Amino acid sequence: MSDILYSPWRLQYILSNKDKECIFCIKPSENNDEKHLILYRSEFCFVIMNVYPYNNGHLMVVPNKHVPNLNGLNKEEITDLFVTVQLCEKIIKEVYSPDGMNIGLNLGKAAGAGIDEHLHVHVVPRWSGDVNFMSAIGGTRVIPESFELVYSKLKEQFDNEKTEK
């Protein structure tokens, strides 16, 4: 028997009305980082919280350039993207002390990308037993911290990293 990963809480996102324009282009251009849960900006990308998270601290690292895949980025942009992913890993470990982490890309709708036209890397902290009966049986995801609290904790760490450089 094969294992099956269900994520019924994602149905809210799947069925929701989507902006006609790319949210990964719109949100950073509005220069209202706290409202849009943007935690950090590097030269070629930014870090944003996922509003439909799998776990507390679920982040996305998004290149500024609107491209659907890695081949659309040059060497500098790829380097900046993955240096920023590395920074996210460090900060999530410092703030949340997870047992593990999922880091990955979904390229294309068939691969599970909710926003397939703009490349982004998911960084998801994981804890032993973090999938429980609520998500497996009840179809409800329990995220124990508010977005505001998660944002505040992570933003402080990202800001500390900027000042240390």
CATH of the domain at 154: 3.30.428.10
Residue 30: CA count within 13 A, CB half-sphere: 13
Q: How many domains does the chain have?
A: 1
pLDDT computed for residue 4 by the predictor: 46
Q: What is the pLDDT along the chain (165 residues), one digit of tens a residue?
A: 445 444 555 555 555 565 578 999 999 999 899 999 999 999 999 999 998 888 889 999 999 999 999 999 999 999 999 999 999 999 999 999 999 999 999 888 888 888 889 999 999 998 887 664 444 444 445 556 777 888 899 999 999 987 665
pLDDT computed for residue 155 by the predictor: 93
**CA 144 to CA 35: how far, in whole Å?**
20
Q: How many CB atoms lie within 10 A of CB 77?
A: 19
pLDDT computed for residue 85 by the predictor: 98
Please check whether residue 4 lies inside any domain of the structure.
no
Please check whether residue 3 lies inside any domain of the structure.
no
Please check whether residue 12 lies inside any domain of the structure.
no
pLDDT computed for residue 140 by the predictor: 46
DSSP for 18-56 reads PPSS-HHHHHHHTT-TTTTTEEEE-SSEEEEE-SS-SST
Structural domain boundaries enclosing 67: 21-164
Please check whether residue 2 lies inside any domain of the structure.
no
Please check whether residue 16 lies inside any domain of the structure.
no
Residue closest to 78 by CA, chosen among 90, 69, 88: 69
Please check whether residue 27 lies inside any domain of the structure.
yes
Please check whether residue 62 lies inside any domain of the structure.
yes
Q: Which residues are catalytic?
A: 120
Please check whether residue 106 lies inside any domain of the structure.
yes
Q: What are phi and psi of 76, to 5 degrees?
A: -60, -45
Query: What is the distance, to the nearest Å, from the Cα of residue 76 to the centroid of all Cα atoms in its chain?
Result: 21
